A and B are shown apart, each in its own frame.
Chain A
Amino acid sequence: QVQLQESGPGLVKPSETLSLTCTVSGYSISSGYYWGWIRQPPGKGLEWIGSIYHSGSTYYNPSLKSRVTISVDTSKNQFSLKLSSVTAADTAVYYCARNIAAAGKFDYWGQGTLVTVSS
């Protein structure tokens, strides 16, 4: 059974960098598929942030691309998100998920982690 778990600080100060890690169990990232990040502001809809392949190939949401970096550590079976220069608008529940392809559905999701941007 594939499981994903997000981890990282729940509170980030404005202008700083948000950093989250997703740990995958039950499946080796090196075996394939893309791995993505999606966020959901409180009471709002879903927004795809970006996805990464085990080789390091990435696709980002054009509206966030200038601030986003997604990386992968196959030795730890983890992938990570960094979002720079955050503002209150970046307050959201952040989900990691398995992305069947670079352009694909998300079939397994983490439980999500709330990140609040506030001083």
Chain B
Amino acid sequence: DIQMTQSPSTLSASVGDRVTITCRASQSISSWLAWYQQKPGKAPKLLIYKASSLESGVPSRFSGSGSGTEFTLTISSLQPDDFATYYCQQYNSYSLTFGGGTKVEIK
């Protein structure tokens, strides 16, 4: 299985901050990476796919980058609605795996 490692596991930030979350794959996954946002008690929501493509309806303050084994999710100006947990997911192989999650908390 391809292992996905996210860092940090928790991030404290303020409204308006630029936030960056990192996801590393245990082997190259080309650009086959998605990012999800999950709020308490809710299902995950797809934000980014193919490493940098923004899902329809997702605000442009979210962006993704990277290829191979290292990827980042950036929120350019953190909004109150963005406090949540974020997960990466690789789909380079038929055995799909998620990162452990990054919780973005209010500072």
The residues of A with any CB-CB pair to B shorter than 8 Å are: 36, 45-48, 51, 59, 61-63, 95, 97, 101-107, 109-112
The answer to whether A103 touches B46 (Cβ under 8 A) is no
Chain B, interface size: which category?
20 to 34
Main secondary structure of the interface of A (DSSP, over half): loop
Q: From B43, B55, B97, give the contact of A111 (CB < 8 A).
A: B43
Q: Smallest CB–CB gap between A19 and chain B, Å?
A: 20
Judged by DSSP, the binding face of B is loop
Given A45-B99, A48-B89, A48-B95, 13 more pairs with CB closer than 8 A: A46-B36, A46-B87, A46-B89, A46-B98, A48-B97, A51-B96, A62-B1, A97-B43, A103-B94, A104-B91, A105-B91, A106-B44, A106-B89
Closest to A61 in B: B95
Q: Which chain B residue has the least Cβ–Cβ distance from A49?
A: B96
